[in-house]
Amino acid sequence: MSRTTCDHGCMVSDPHVTLSGDIVGEYVVKDRRPDGELRLVPDEYPATVPKYGGRRATPEEFEQHFGDLPTDGEG
């Protein structure tokens, strides 16, 4: 199988699918047979990366919550 890019911009070696209905979740296609049968395994990556329904903080909100953080000297 060819390498593809996932929604997160990372490179993955197997295609991903999202199931809905009786079985719900993110899965990786591990095997695709000539008759069209697929072997799916749960995708463990989304479980480690939380999905937030929020938004980016404005610079003012960031300053209010985190204060003036020291820079790392990279500009």
Query: Domain range holding 54?
Result: 4-66
d(CA 70, CA 75): 12
Count of domains forming the chain = 1
Report pLDDT for 49: 61
Domain-located, residue 17 = yes
Q: Coil, strand or helix: which one is 11?
A: strand
d(CA 18, CA 25): 6
Report pLDDT for 36: 93
Report the predicted TM-score, pTM, of the whole model to 2 decimal places. Answer: 0.45
Per-block mean pLDDT, blocks of 10 residues, the chain (75 long)? 50 77 90 94 73 79 82 70
Domain-located, residue 57 = yes
Domain-located, residue 72 = no
**Closest Cα to residue 42, out of 27, 30, 29?**
27
Domain-located, residue 75 = no
